Amino acid sequence: MTWWRALKQTGRSGLAVERRRLEPLVALRGAVGLAIVIGLSLTLFGPAVAASSAFGAFQAAIATFQRSWRPRPELALASGTSLAVSTFLGYVTGSHLLLFLALLALWTFLAGLSWAAGPTIGLIATSNVAIMLVTITLPTSVAAAAGHAAMMVVGGAVQAVLVIVFPVRRWGAHRDALADALAAEADYARRLRHDPVAPFDPVPLMTARAAAHITPRQARKRPAELHGARGVAERIRPVLASLADPALGVPADGPERDRVRELLSAAGIILDAAARAIRHGDPVDLTPSAIAAFRTPDTGAVLSGPPQRAARRLGTLLRDVVEVAGGTSDTDDDSEPATNTNLVRPGLTALVPAALKAMRQELRQRHTAVTRHALRVTTVAVAGYVLGTFLPLGHPYWAPMASVMVMRPDFSQTYTRAVGRFAGTLVGVTLATALVQLTHPGTHLSGALAVTSAGLMYLLMRTGQIAAQACVAAYVVFLLGMGGEQWTQTVPERVVLTLIGGLLAMAAYASYPAWETPRLRTRLADWLTADGKYAAAVAAHYADPAGTSCPDVRGTLLAARDARAAWQEALERAEHEPVRHRGLSRAAAAEAEDALAQFGRVAMLLEAHLPDRDTPPVPAAEHLAEALRTTTEQGAKAVRDRRVPHWDEIREVLDDWEPEDAPERVVRRGGTLLRKALDDLSEALDTSPPPMLVDGADTHVRKENRTRGTGPQGT
């Protein structure tokens, strides 16, 4: 993609307004908290302290909107407290330019590194740096700075108390995550009726797993219907696929296929009913036809072998999920079958050590996207503040504040936010200035207008950059106006310096980028390695059904999902970058993704047919497991080195294998499908020239080479 096209796409994204579900009650709660803080501060301490405390309450409310599964009061308290510390330290060093620049560099670098601990922590830390640049100008002494910092803590505490006293749809995000996972499986069951090899995106299951990580305090208060349903849903997905798949299940046509379609349709209805019940906290409402589909006695007469076992297991799992969704089951969370314990999220006190550990790991790896982001944002923040100080505009903090707020570890978000922030600032200050000129508001009216602007920002936060930034710009104009600054002192320089800050951010990324495109092969290799370990773990359980010396299938499955998600995220980022990867075209990336997705799907089918613990072992499966593990690791190295991987060892194991009984036939057939998926991956990565014509005949060089496993090594 050219730079011009990339800039056009990111600019269009920054100016777009999306239709999203609004949360007016949550926005109202945040605005009310802000109004309480401003009102008390104005009454007790005056406009300057009110402005500081308002920033604390404003930022704390924004923290409660973040996509985090942590309790909202914790986020509000952490945001208000960290902003108070930043402001106090910033004021103490603010009178000495070099000392303040050193603090700004350190604080900004740590904020940039904090993205390694997650986007919520990264955003809170980044916002603290940006707001600190404004709030340090409000106090007039060290004692006053301490008072301002204390009021920021109070602002965060007020927002936390409001979240506790006036909860809006308590556990709503967790309910939605689990309900979305069940609804995705219901849709999957319906699609399998018409397409037995339909793909399934595991993202809803991954989101539900993230939501299942809870703090000890949350574990004591979690609703009964959120216990255990996710663990059951995880086991339903492979059963659905194994029941519908024609390779390891029933034939593509005939009475067996008709019976499978009936069961899949009923499963979709039951899963949808469970999803609705969990989402709204209502009883499960099942249709009689769906219940009757699993109670008819002809399943055993129509289906036999693995499909029959899958049908019976599906009925059992659906009964379990209905019981859990209805709150009538005593089952615990069952997130990890081996331990049957909750997935624990560290509390607020344990969050800081965990974040520091993630940041240290990023520093050790050096040239990662997060480390480069930390260096970029630090350089730009210091340069922007120095530039704003020496320009004859006043208010030097506008430029670095704009830079810090728009910069992100990836290209697309940085440029999109830069365009959106400048456009939103221009709209917001224009509207706010016009309103100030018409009404000439006093202190209290300015505070009311600031609260209104903040409430609109909370309401429109997720609809796009331009809408949110317009409200933020108006909020700052009214808030500083409440503190005594005239619009002529804030508006012109803010527009100019915001533009400068955005340009600095964009230039910094272009000069010191962290492109995702060159790392696509590494991401693909990581996914191949993780999928290989998952398939090998499944095959090993056929060789040792008791599993006494086998790797954990569940752990390898989760690692494979994470690797797939990392690949898809990297591919999405790369699509917007103005660089090309000579070793992996878009078409090759798409074909390689399809091949690895098919590989993971076949491994999941084999997992669904795992034998019971007392089943006789399949000795040949041990050789298949070892071949899968070693060849995928070697293949991953070949992918990183831009060579075409080969799978000779797997082919030799399958050629020497003569299956005798049903379990052997299942794993042998699965091994063949796994090898075919790997061959498709090699074909996608083969960048050798097309077949040559020799004496008028096509030599089919590439096809023969792939058949022998001696194809060209690529470029």
Sole residue written with tokens 């790896």? 365
The tokens for 293 are 């589909």
The pLDDT value given to residue 7: 82
Provide DSSP, 541-568.
Answer: HHH-TT-TT---HHHHHHHHHHHHHHHH
Strands 693-694 and 697-698: antiparallel
Q: Is residue 713 part of a domain?
A: no
Q: Are residues 124 and 195 in the same domain?
A: no
The tokens for 186 are 């219901």
Cα torsion angle, 695, 701, 707, 711, sign: positive
Q: How confident is the model at residue 253 (pLDDT cuts 50, 70, 90)?
A: confident
**Runs of H (alpha helix) within 461-519:** 465-482, 487-511
Task: Name the DSSP letter for residue 67.
Answer: S
The pLDDT tens digits of the residues spanning 16-33 come to 888 877 889 999 999 999
Q: Is residue 358 part of a domain?
A: no
Asked whether the beta carbons of 103 and 94 are under 8 A apart, the reply is no
Q: How confident is the model at residue 96 (pLDDT cuts 50, 70, 90)?
A: confident
Q: How many residues does the chain have?
A: 715
The tokens for 183 are 């609804």
Cα torsion angle, 271, 276, 278, 282, sign: negative
Q: Are residues 430 and 282 in the same domain?
A: no
Q: Are residues 147 and 28 in the same domain?
A: yes
Q: Are residues 505 and 393 in the same domain?
A: yes
Q: Are residues 641 and 577 in the same domain?
A: yes
Asked whether the beta carbons of 31 and 46 are under 8 A apart, the reply is no
The residue type found at 207 is: T
Rg of the chain over all Cα atoms, to the nearest angstrom: 29
Q: Distance between the two ends of the chain, CA-based, in angstroms? A: 21
Q: Is residue 352 part of a domain?
A: no
Q: Is residue 701 part of a domain?
A: no
The residue type found at 495 is: V
The tokens for 621 are 């499966």
Asked whether the beta carbons of 600 and 531 are under 8 A apart, the reply is yes
Domain boundary among 456, 490, 511: 511
Between the CA of residue 310 and those of 183, 238, 330, what are the distances in Å? 20, 9, 25
Domain residue limits at 270:
172-213+228-325
Provide DSSP, 472-486.
Answer: HHHHHHHHHHHTT--
Nearest to 274 by CA among 181, 168, 170, 173: 181
Sole residue written with tokens 């106006």? 481
Asked whether the beta carbons of 99 and 57 are under 8 A apart, the reply is no
pLDDT mean over 558-563: 93
Give buried/exposed letters for 605-618 (b at 16+ CB in 10 A, else e).
bbbbbbbeeeeeeb
Q: Are residues 434 and 541 in the same domain?
A: no
The tokens for 134 are 């404004």
Q: Are residues 320 and 387 in the same domain?
A: no
Residue 111 sits at φ, ψ, to 5 deg, of: -65, -40
Asked whether the beta carbons of 41 and 54 are under 8 A apart, the reply is yes
The pLDDT value given to residue 425: 86
Q: Are residues 528 and 504 in the same domain?
A: no
Q: Is residue 429 part of a domain?
A: yes
The pLDDT tens digits of the residues spanning 29-49 come to 999 999 999 999 888 888 888
The pLDDT value given to residue 20: 79
CA 438 to chain CA centroid, nearest Å = 45
The pLDDT tens digits of the residues spanning 436-484 come to 888 888 888 888 999 999 999 999 988 888 988 899 988 888 887 776 6
Residues 6 or more apart in contact with residue 111 via CB below 8 angstroms: 122, 125, 126, 128, 129, 374, 377, 404
Sole residue written with tokens 């070949």? 638
The tokens for 407 are 């910069």
The pLDDT value given to residue 484: 62
490 vs 701 pLDDT, higher one: 490
Cα torsion angle, 153, 158, 159, 161, sign: positive
The pLDDT tens digits of the residues spanning 256-283 come to 888 889 999 999 999 999 999 998 888 8
Measured CA to CA, the distance from residue 708 to residue 306 in angstroms comes to 34
**Runs of H (alpha helix) within 246-305:** 255-280, 288-295, 299-302
The pLDDT tens digits of the residues spanning 64-89 come to 887 777 778 888 988 999 999 998 99
Q: Are residues 495 and 546 in the same domain?
A: no
592 vs 328 pLDDT, higher one: 592
Strands 693-694 and 343-344: unpaired
The pLDDT value given to residue 109: 95
**Burial tier of 1 (Cβ tally within 10 Å: 0-12, 13-18, 19+):** middle
Q: Are residues 236 and 313 in the same domain?
A: yes
Q: How many beta carbons lie within 10 A of that of residue 141, not counting itself?
A: 9
Measured CA to CA, the distance from residue 448 to residue 442 in angstroms comes to 10
Residue 485 sits at φ, ψ, to 5 deg, of: -85, 135
Q: Are residues 84 and 9 in the same domain?
A: yes
CATH number of residue 532's parent domain: 1.20.58
* Planar angle of CA 436, 441, 447, nearest 5 degrees: 105
pLDDT mean over 356-367: 84
pLDDT mean over 276-294: 86
Domain boundary among 295, 325, 355: 325
Strands 343-344 and 213-214: parallel
The pLDDT value given to residue 97: 87
The pLDDT value given to residue 713: 36
Between the CA of residue 441 and those of 34, 331, 429, 482, 650, what are the distances in Å? 19, 60, 15, 9, 77
The pLDDT value given to residue 693: 41
Q: How confident is the model at residue 689 (pLDDT cuts 50, 70, 90)?
A: low
**Burial tier of 681 (Cβ tally within 10 Å: 0-12, 13-18, 19+):** buried
CA 568 to chain CA centroid, nearest Å = 11
* Planar angle of CA 256, 258, 262, nearest 5 degrees: 115
Nearest to 121 by CA among 359, 434, 393, 447: 359
CA 224 to chain CA centroid, nearest Å = 26
Nearest to 351 by CA among 341, 340, 359, 343: 359
Q: Is residue 244 part of a domain?
A: yes
Give buried/exposed letters for 424-446 (b at 16+ CB in 10 A, else e).
bbbbbbebbbebbeeeebeeeeb
Q: Is residue 333 part of a domain?
A: no
Diameter over CA atoms, the chain: 96
Q: Is residue 617 part of a domain?
A: yes
Residue 59 has pLDDT above 80, yes or no: yes
Dihedral angle, C-alpha 546, 549, 552, 553, nearest 10 °: -50
Q: Are residues 105 and 180 in the same domain?
A: no
Give buried/exposed letters for 186-203 (b at 16+ CB in 10 A, else e).
bbbbbbbbeebebebebe
The pLDDT value given to residue 517: 87
Number of compact structural domains in the chain: 3
